[in-house]
Amino acid sequence: MPRVACPTCGYQNPASYAACDLCRSPLRGQAAGAAAPPPAPRRDFYGEQSSNSRQSWILMAAFVVLVVFVAWATGEASGLGPVGLLFGLAFGTLGALLAYYAGDKMVLSASGAVEAAPDREPVLHNIVEELCLASGLPKPRLYVIESAAPNAFATGRDPARASVAVTRGLLQKLSREELQGVLAHEMSHVRNLDMRFATIVGILVGTVALLCDWGWRSWRFRGGRRSSGRGGAVLVLLALVLAIFAPLASRLIQMAISRRRELLADASAVELTRNPGGLAAALRRIAADPAGLEGANRATQHLFIVNPLKSYGIDSSALLSTHPPIEARIRILESMM
């Protein structure tokens, strides 16, 4: 498939796209013989924020449509009707509630984070207190992970119960200005309620998977009997296709939302610090660091400021990645300078 690089962030888009899939800036020169495109407009964080949150909500709406559609098809295929929907919702919600109320503690202990005392880590506490003044947020609890890999994450279901964890490597390898950029990104996750957002999305993903699984089983249990006439057969076929593709589709939407929220947090961090250079320099340094993070796994990878497990190059489309390519993030930040 022919691809075209975005002039702003460098992301490789399918040649047919008019606007960049990642940063939404127009792709120049896609039509042969078109007039010279206007220079890319200077971007500001207000515009970045509103476009990013709009994108998130569009994705959420697509998600809800998918869930409703799957639930309806499952009900039809299994012959149980709306009962299937209720069952799926109940299971999905139960698991999500547990994640919602105890998730932050589970994540912190899984990554080996230890609470940081103010007199032991004065710079960390100072920087976070500064950012609290800038954002009007209450001070989150601060944790340090004893690992040489520079990385950080935020968790907690609302700003009053938020926690921010940074690695020892981050504190040692980054300058004060770069550290401020990273912590501003984490505080932005807290302020944008990204943890809550991720939980809601998690509920929807789980529900889709459960419904599909359940619809599939009950159809097989009934021995693949046809319901009534040709209309019923078409419906069952449709439900089967859905049962196979809906879980995959829901994962793709979840990843797209995660990437969108990362960009939103980058833009919000610039709103707080008014200094895109600090975060850009920090991302560059984190990306160049060879040390690996021991406590990270597939369940926690999406939380970190830079994905600790895999990094995709800028020329891959990275559909299943939780983070946008780091070069693209740096280029977007630099376009705000």
Partner 1 sequence: MAAFVVLLVLLGGFALALVGIYNGLVTLRNQVKNAWQQIGVQLKRRHDLIPNLVEVVKDYMGYEQETLEKVIRARNQALSATGVQGTAAAEGALTGALRSLFAVVEAYPQLKANENVSKLQEELTSTENRIAFARQFYNDMVMRYNTRIQVFPSNLIASSFGFKDEAYFEIPAAEQEPVKVDLR
Return d(Cα 310, Cα 49) in angstroms, integer: 26
Name the residue nearer to partner 1 (CB basis): 131 or 198: 131
Q: Measured on CA atoms in the order 165, 156, 308, 287, is the torsion positive or negative?
A: negative
| CA 204 to chain centroid | 14
Q: Give the C-alpha distances (Å, rounded to integers) separating 268 from 45, 119, 195, 307.
A: 7, 29, 15, 19
Name the residue nearer to partner 1 (CB basis): 187 or 239: 187
Residues involved in catalysis = 186
Q: Give the one residue of 114, 123, 233, 234 binding partner 1; rule: CB under 8 A.
A: 123
**At closest approach, how far in Å is the CB of 310 from partner 1?**
35
Q: How many residues bind partner 1 (CB under 8 A)?
A: 14
Name the residue nearer to partner 1 (CB basis): 109 or 126: 126
- Please, is 119 exposed, middle or buried when counting C-beta atoms within 10 Å of its C-beta (0-12, 13-18, 19+)? exposed
Residues between 205 and 264 with contacts to partner 1, criterion CB under 8 A: none
- Contact status: 176 vs partner 1 (CB under 8 A): yes
- Contact status: 180 vs partner 1 (CB under 8 A): yes
Region of 90-98, 100-108, 123-131, 228-236 interacting with partner 1 (CB under 8 A): 123-131
Return d(Cα 272, Cα 185) in angstroms, integer: 9
Return d(Cα 70, Cα 212) in angstroms, integer: 7
Residues between 257 and 286 with contacts to partner 1, criterion CB under 8 A: 272, 274
Region of 4-12, 130-138, 217-225, 303-311 interacting with partner 1 (CB under 8 A): 130-138
Q: Give the one residue of 131, 182, 280, 336 binding partner 1; rule: CB under 8 A.
A: 131
Residues between 44 and 73 with contacts to partner 1, criterion CB under 8 A: none
C-alpha torsion angle, residues 175, 145, 260, 189 (rounded to 10): -80
**At closest approach, how far in Å is the CB of 333 from partner 1?**
19
189 and 154 in contact (C-beta within 8 Å)?
yes
Name the residue nearer to partner 1 (CB basis): 55 or 180: 180
Return d(Cα 21, Cα 6) in angstroms, integer: 9
End-to-end CA distance of the chain: 33
Number of neighbours of residue 268 by Cβ within 10 angstroms:
25
Region of 4-12, 23-31, 126-134, 227-235 interacting with partner 1 (CB under 8 A): 126-134
Q: Give the one residue of 22, 23, 59, 127 binding partner 1; rule: CB under 8 A.
A: 127
- Which residues lie near partner 1 (CB under 8 A)? 122-123, 126-127, 129-131, 133-134, 136, 176, 180, 272, 274
